[in-house]
C-alpha cells in the first residue's frame, strides 16, 4: 500500500473519530516584493530609488520624512509616467508626501508591475530634475548571479592593521536582469541592506560577509573581507563638540515653526568616530544631518561625541522654544460642473473640482473621497459617472500641519447625455537639424474635437508651468528639452486624457565668419596712426580694422576719410562703437594720409581690393 493512500485512510479514520485537524485556510498571497523610494532636501534627485524589479503585485513605499533627510518640510511626489513613449503606462501612481502630513511623510501603495521599463518623476514645480526609471524583468534566461566585490580603506600601521577605523565599500554588477540588492553581515550579526560605505571603528579583528541578488532572484556566493582595527596610539583627549540652533525668530527669541540644530565635532588626534544627540527625553540617536524640530513648545537638546580611541566628550546642551507662526487651516472648497436636467441632476457625469488656498505656510496636501470611500490625494478634477446619488468629501492640510474641516458636496447623476470625452492631438513644428532638434524655437499646435456636446475648453502646459487656456499656437523659444501636455473638456464636462509630447530646442548655428583672415591687432591702427580704440569684432567675424580696410585702393585721401566716417557711423548705429571712439578713429584716418600725398590711386570708380559688409 502506498504512503499517500495510507495518509488518506488515516485522515478519514481520524475524521470519523472527530480528531482530524481542519485544514488551515490558505492565506492571501503577499506582494512579491517591496520597492522603496525616499526623498530629502534635494530638488534634483530622489535620496534613493530602485533600478530593477520583478513582475507581479508590488508594495511601493515612498518616504519623504525627517528620517530620510528632509529637514525643511519640503513636499515631493512619486508619480509614474503614463504618457511618454517607450515606457510602460499600466500603473497610475501619484503619491504626495510631506514630513508633516498625517503619516509623517511615509506612504504605501500596492501596484501590479509588468515586464518592461517604467519612468517616474516629481510633479512639484521646480523639481523636474527628480526623474528616473527602473526595469521590470521576468528573469527569463538569466541564471547568472551578480558579481560583487569589497574594498577596505583606511590608515594602516606597519603590520597592516587599520588605525582607528576601516571603511568597507561594496560594488555589484549584473549584466542580465540587473542588481536588485546588496547586503552585508558584520561579525556574525544580522544581514543588512547596503546603502553606503560601512565604517567600522571598534578595535579588534572583524569579518564582513557580503552578497548580492539580481532581479531574476539569483544570489551571489558570499564574499568575505577580513581586517583588524587598532587604536591610534597616544590619544587620551575627548573630542570637542558644539551645537548651533538656527531658524527665524520672533522678538522673544522663539523659533517660528522650525528650529534646526547643527552639531559640529572635531578631534585633532584619532579623529571623530561618532556624534549623538538626545532631544527632550528621547533616546540617544546617531547624528548624520541637521535636526529639524517642528513640535511647538520648549525643547532641550543634549549632544556628545566619541573619537576613534574611545574618548567621549562631556554632554553639551542647547535650550530653545518653537512656536507656530501659522495657526490657520487652509481654505478649501469644491464646485460641480456638467450638463444638468430640469431637476438639477447631472446628465451622464458630474465633475468635482476642489480648490484649496493657504496664506500662511502654504497648502501641503488636498484629499477627497467619494461616497465614504478611502481618502485619495487630489490631483485633477474628479469625474463621477455612476448613476445615483453621491457625496464627495474633501479636506486640505497646510505645511504647518493645520488641517481644514471636512467639506462635502452632494449631487445626483442620471443616465444619458454626452459621456464621451473630446479627442485631443498635439503637433510640434519648426525648423529641425539633423538630430531632429528644433532650431531656435518650436511651435506647439493643439487641436480638439467633440462630436456630441462640442469642445468647451482646451488647455496646455509646458514643462511644470501652470495649465493655461489654449487660444493660438504656442512658440517655445527656451533652449533645452521640453515636455508639453494638453487636455480638453467638452460642454458636458467630460475631460479628455492628457496627451504629451517631448522635444528639444537648440540654438541656431552662428553665421559663417565673414573675415576668416582678420586683422587682429589690439587697437585700431590706420596708416601707422594708433587711435587707441580697441579693435573688437563687429559681430560677424570682422574686426574694426577689417571694416576700415586701409589696404584697399581709394581715389583720394578725402574719399578714404569719407569711407571711414561712413562705416564708423554704421558701427555707432549698431552699438559697436561709442561716438567718442568713432571720433578718435576718424581723427586717425585724417592723420594717416591714406589715399593721397602722391600715392598711386586708381581713377574714381575703380574696383577695391576687398569689400567688407557690416552687420
Model pLDDT for residues 485-513, shown as the tens digit of each residue: 999 998 777 899 999 999 999 988 777 77
- Could you count the other beta carbons within 10 Å of the beta carbon of residue 197? 11
pLDDT at residue 75 greater than cutoff 70? yes
- For the segment 515-536, the average pLDDT, to the nearest whole number, is 92
pLDDT of residue 29: 57
Residue 44: CB atoms within 10 Å: 11
pLDDT of residue 470: 95
Angle between helices 557-573 and 579-592 (to 10 degrees): 170
Indicate if the pLDDT at residue 600 is higher than 70. no
User: Residue 191 CA to chain centroid, in angstroms?
Assistant: 31
Whether the Cβ atoms of residue 117 and residue 85 lie closer than 8 Å to each other = no
Half-sphere exposure of 115 (CA within 13 A, CB side): 7
Contacts of 24 (CB under 8 A, 6+ apart): none
3-state helix, strand, coil in the chain (%, to 5): 10, 45, 50
Q: Please, what are the domains in the chain?
A: 33-136 (2.60.40.420), 147-230 (2.60.40.10), 240-323 (2.60.40.10), 331-414 (2.60.40.10), 423-506 (2.60.40.10), 513-615 (no CATH)
Q: Residues 28-67: pLDDT tens digits?
A: 556 778 899 999 999 999 999 988 888 889 999 999 998 8
Q: What is the pLDDT of residue 596?
A: 61
| DSSP 8-state code for residue 374 | -
Q: Does an H or E element contain 563, and which?
A: helix 557-573
Report pTM: 0.31
pLDDT tens profile 298-322: 999 999 999 888 889 999 999 999 8
Amino acid at each position: 500500500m502506498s504512503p499517500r493512500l495510507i495518509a488518506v485512510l488515516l485522515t478519514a479514520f481520524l475524521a470519523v473519530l472527530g480528531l482530524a485537524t481542519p485544514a488551515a485556510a490558505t492565506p492571501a498571497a503577499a506582494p512579491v516584493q517591496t520597492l522603496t523610494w525616499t526623498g530629502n532636501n534635494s530638488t534634483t534627485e530622489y535620496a534613493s530609488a530602485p533600478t530593477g524589479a520583478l513582475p507581479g503585485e508590488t508594495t511601493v513605499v515612498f518616504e519623504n520624512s525627517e528620517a530620510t533627510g528632509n529637514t525643511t518640510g519640503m513636499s515631493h511626489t512619486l508619480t509614474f509616467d503614463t504618457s511618454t513613449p517607450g515606457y510602460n503606462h499600466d500603473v497610475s501612481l501619484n503619491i504626495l508626501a510631506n514630513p508633516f502630513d498625517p503619516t509623517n511623510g511615509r506612504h504605501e501603495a500596492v501596484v501590479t508591475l509588468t515586464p518592461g521599463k517604467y519612468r517616474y518623476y516629481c510633479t512639484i514645480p521646480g523639481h523636474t530634475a527628480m526623474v528616473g526609471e527602473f526595469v521590470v524583468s521576468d528573469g527569463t534566461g538569466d541564471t547568472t548571479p551578480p558579481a560583487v566585490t569589497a574594498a577596505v580603506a583606511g590608515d594602516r600601521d606597519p603590520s597592516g592593521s587599520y588605525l582607528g577605523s576601516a571603511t568597507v565599500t561594496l560594488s555589484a554588477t549584473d549584466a542580465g536582469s540587473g542588481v536588485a540588492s546588496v547586503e552585508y553581515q558584520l561579525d556574525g550579526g544580522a544581514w543588512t541592506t547596503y546603502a553606503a560605505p560601512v565604517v567600522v571603528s571598534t578595535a579588534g579583528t572583524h569579518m564582513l560577509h557580503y552578497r548580492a541578488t539580481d532581479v531574476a532572484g539569483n544570489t551571489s556566493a558570499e564574499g568575505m573581507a577580513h581586517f583588524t582595527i587598532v587604536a591610534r596610539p597616544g590619544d587620551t583627549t575627548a573630542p570637542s563638540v558644539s551645537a548651533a540652533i538656527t531658524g527665524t525668530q520672533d522678538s522673544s527669541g522663539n523659533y517660528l515653526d522650525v528650529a534646526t540644530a547643527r552639531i559640529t565635532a572635531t578631534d585633532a588626534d584619532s579623529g571623530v568616530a561618532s556624534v549623538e544627540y538626545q532631544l527632550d527625553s528621547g533616546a540617544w540617536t546617531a547624528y548624520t544631518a541637521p535636526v529639524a524640530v517642528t513640535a511647538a513648545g520648549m525643547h532641550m537638546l543634549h549632544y556628545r561625541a566619541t573619537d576613534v580611541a574611545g574618548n567621549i566628550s562631556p554632554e553639551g546642551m542647547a535650550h530653545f522654544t518653537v512656536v507656530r507662526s501659522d495657526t490657520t487651516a487652509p481654505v478649501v472648497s469644491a464646485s460641480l460642473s456638467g450638463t444638468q436636467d430640469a431637476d438639477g441632476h447631472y446628465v451622464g457625469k458630474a465633475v468635482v473640482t476642489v480648490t484649496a488656498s493657504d496664506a500662511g505656510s502654504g497648502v501641503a496636501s488636498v484629499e477627497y473621497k467619494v461616497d465614504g470611500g478611502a481618502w485619495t490625494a487630489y490631483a485633477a478634477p474628479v469625474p463621477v459617472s455612476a448613476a445615483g446619488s453621491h457625496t464627495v468629501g474633501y479636506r486640505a492640510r497646510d505645511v504647518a500641519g493645520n488641517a481644514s474641516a471636512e467639506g462635502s458636496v452632494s449631487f445626483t447623476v442620471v443616465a444619458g447625455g454626452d459621456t464621451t470625452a473630446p479627442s485631443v492631438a498635439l503637433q510640434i513644428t519648426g525648423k529641425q537639424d539633423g538630430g531632429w532638434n528644433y532650431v531656435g524655437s518650436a511651435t506647439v499646435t493643439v487641436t480638439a474635437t467633440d462630436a456630441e456636446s462640442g469642445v468647451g475648453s482646451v488647455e496646455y502646459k509646458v514643462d511644470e508651468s501652470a495649465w493655461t487656456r489654449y487660444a493660438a499656437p504656442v512658440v517655445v523659444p527656451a533652449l533645452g528639452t521640453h515636455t508639453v501636455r494638453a487636455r480638453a473638456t467638452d460642454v458636458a464636462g467630460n475631460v479628455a486624457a492628457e496627451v504629451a509630447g517631448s522635444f528639444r530646442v537648440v540654438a541656431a548655428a552662428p553665421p559663417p565668419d565673414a573675415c576668416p583672415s582678420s586683422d587682429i591687432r589690439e587697437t585700431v591702427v590706420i596708416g601707422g596712426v594708433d587711435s587707441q580704440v580697441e579693435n573688437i569684432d563687429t559681430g560677424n567675424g570682422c574686426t574694426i580694422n577689417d571694416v576700415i580696410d586701409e589696404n584697399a585702393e581709394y581715389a583720394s585721401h578725402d574719399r578714404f576719410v569719407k569711407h571711414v566716417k561712413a562705416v564708423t557711423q554704421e558701427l555707432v548705429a549698431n552699438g559697436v562703437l561709442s561716438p567718442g571712439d568713432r571720433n578718435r578713429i576718424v581723427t586717425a584716418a585724417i592723420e594717416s594720409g591714406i589715399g593721397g600725398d602722391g600715392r598711386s590711386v586708381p581713377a574714381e570708380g575703380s574696383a577695391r581690393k576687398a569689400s567688407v559688409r557690416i552687420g
